[in-house]
A and B are shown apart, each in its own frame.
Chain A
Amino acid sequence: MPCASLLPLAHLGHWLWVFYVLPVLIVVLGILWSTIAARRRERGEAGESDDGG
């Protein structure tokens, strides 16, 4: 069976929007990762100061 009949290449254009969503997703994931890391760090610092006190 030829590949062209298996791959819906004619409809590839319908999925081009994915390429426009990806940068947004990457930025949002980066923000979430950074926020979680900052929270963990803050919690760790708070825990250390409690132990020291």
Chain B
Amino acid sequence: MSWLPFAHALVARRDLPIPAWLFAWGASVVLIVSFFALSAAWRTPRLERSSWRPLGPRLSRALLGPPTQVLCGAAGVSLLGVAIYAGLRGTEAPDRNFALTFLFVTCWLGFPFLSALLGDVFRPFNPWRALGRAAGAGFAAIAGQPALHLRYPRRLGRWPAAIGLLAVVWLEVVYGGSGGVAVGLSPEPVAVAALLYSGYTLAMMALFGVEAWCENGEVFSVYFGMFSRLGWLEARDGRLGRRRPLAASTRWATVPGSIAVVVASISSTSFDGGQEGAFKGAIESATGWLEGLGFGALTATRLADTAFMVLCFAGIALVYLLGVRGMRTVRRAPSFAKLRDGFAHTLIPIALGYLVAHYFSLFVFQEQAQFTYLLSDPLGTAHTDLFGTASSGIDFKLLSENAIWYVQVGALVVGHVLGLTLAHDRALAYWPDYREATRSQYWMLAVMVAFTCFGLYLLSAGNG
């Protein structure tokens, strides 16, 4: 199983026309040129105003009506059930079991990609929301009144989701990565974790209400919802409408803890990318040091990995906050807190760029497995062939090594240029004089160049 790049999708490159580090220089030049182009051509904020326009009522009814919602919810619940059952009863071989690929590749990577294009596509399929709403409707039918809930504490904001996001990644890349299994987690702990998470989520929904918890605390709703703010479709009051891409992200970070969610996303991807590459030597040294202190090998590995994951989080947050601090030096700057929260959404396209860069090839390869042998034989027992595709395999020649590298570089550059665009637009809203707005964005340019070069370094070190 060691051939399966489950932890992160990095492959060796051998025949690039120029050294990998020159791509970082090229990407930096692209960012600088984009920055000056924005300064010259974009002098009023364009993304701050709501640009939502409803689509035809028939389309809205078809896509958002109760039958569709029930169908989508039932599909979500059923697939979660299949994944949990496969994890508990299926083979221990991670690459042959439906659970791991479905949860950690198809959903964990598929929903961000799809959401960034279309909008919040996870919402109708969210199995916990469907279960919570069904339970609420059942309660109302029996009790004759809707269930009462506690008011969600505003100060708590999205912090539960940020912590949950780190916990999910920790489970995959620290607990699983150091568990002695080459591809990470074995299916059973994933199924148990999914059951525990389901219990926790349903309890929180009972306490605070389904929608309040999905808005703030439900890890997957918040995480996928963050990327959906880049997409062009949005439902309002039962009507589907289109909006300007990126525009909805400007209103995303108004809830406490939002910065932690987006930083957790970038840092967890960075850690996953660096764990076997750029950080490998340092993690091994830390592990050896911890073993010297008397910890067992497995505990020492997990502690060292956890420490590096936290360091990644702190490092990414620090670079962003330094950029915000730099903006404060410009005349007529708003308060530090306003700048910190006001520019957090500019990191969303960067998080998406990191995600695409690190996992694009894994997604392409594993989805071949998902829609062939894993669908035909979800338990991986070799006794079932539901769709006649159980004997199919993954075509690893589908993507060349260079094609993967160019997609990685392209994703990082596009993500950061979009981040710069969002930051520039927000600066124009905060500084009435566009020259001061531009000057404030020098610092965000530095942040974007730093994240781009860091991302490319992680990829090149992982690939090398």
Distance between Cα atoms of A53 and B10 in the complex (Å): 66
- Residues in B whose Cβ lies below 8 Å from that of A26: 28
Determine whether the beta carbon of B446 is less than 8 Å from that of A20. Answer: no
A27-B446, A28-B446 as given contacts; A20 in contact with B329, CB under 8 Å: no
Chain B residue nearest to A17 (CB atoms) is B457
The smallest C-beta distance from A51 to any residue of chain B, in angstroms, reads 22
Task: Report the Cα distance A13→B280, complex, angstroms.
Answer: 14
Quick one: which of A10-53 are within 8 Å of B by CB?
Answer: 13, 16-17, 19-24, 26-28, 30-31, 34-35, 38
User: What 1/0 mask marks residues of chain B from 296 to 324 whose CB sits below 8 Å from any chain A CB?
Assistant: 00000000000000000000000000000
Whether A20 and B464, one on each chain, are in contact in the complex, defined by CB atoms closer than 8 angstroms, is no
Contact assessment for A23 and B28 in the assembled complex, using a CB-CB cutoff below 8 Å: yes
Most chain A beta-carbon neighbours within 10 Å: one of B28, B453, B461: B453
- Report how far A8 CA is from B456 CA in the complex, Å: 25
| CB < 8 Å neighbour of A20 from B32, B443, B456 | B456
**Which residues from chain B contact A13 at a C-beta distance below 8 Å?**
464
Is B454 located at the chain interface by the 8 A CB criterion? yes
B439→A23 contact, CB < 8 A? no
Q: Are A31 and B326 in contact (CB under 8 A)?
A: yes
Given the complex of chains A and B, what is the CA–CA distance between A19 and B32 in angstroms? 17
Q: Which residues of B contact A27 (CB under 8 A)?
A: 28, 32, 445-446, 449
* Complex alpha-carbon distance, A17 and B457, angstroms: 7
Interface membership of chain B positions 430-464, coded 1 if the CB is closer than 8 angstroms to chain A and 0 otherwise:
00000000010011011001100110110011001
Chain A, Cβ-Cβ closest to B435: A38
- Taken together as a complex, chains A and B put the C-alpha atoms of A17 and B442 apart, in Å, by 23
Cα distance A24–B357 in the bound complex, in angstroms: 20
Interface of B is mostly: helix
Contacts of B449 in A (CB 8 A): 23-24, 27
Identify the interface centre among A16, A22, A23, A24: most chain B CB within 10 Å of its CB.
Answer: A23
Residue count of chain A within 8 Å CB distance of chain B = 17
Q: Is the CB of B442 within 8 A of A24?
A: no
Q: Is B205 engaged at the interface, CB distance under 8 Å to the other chain? A: no
Bound complex: CA of A50 vs CA of B24, how far in Å?
47
User: Nearest chain-B residue to A21 (Cβ)?
Assistant: B453
Residues of A within 8 A of B21 (CB): 16, 19-20
A19 CB contacts on chain B under 8 angstroms: 19, 21, 24-25
Please, how many angstroms separate the alpha-carbon atoms of A19 and B19 in the complex?
Answer: 10
Q: A16 to B431, alpha carbons, bound, how many Å?
A: 39
Query: Complex: how many Å from CA A27 to CA B420?
Result: 15
Residues from chain A with a CB closer than 8 A to the CB of B32 are 27
Cβ-neighbour of A31 out of B19, B28, B442, B454 (below 8 A)? B442
- Across the interface, do B442 and A34 meet the contact criterion of CB distance under 8 Å? yes
Residues of B at the A interface (CB closer than 8 Å) are 19, 21, 24-25, 28, 32, 278, 326, 329, 439, 442-443, 445-446, 449-450, 453-454, 456-457, 460-461, 464
A binding-site residues for B, Cβ under 8 Å:
13, 16-17, 19-24, 26-28, 30-31, 34-35, 38
**11 A-B pairs in the complex with CB atoms less than 8 angstroms apart:** A17-B278, A19-B24, A20-B460, A22-B25, A23-B25, A23-B449, A27-B32, A28-B446, A31-B443, A31-B445, A35-B439
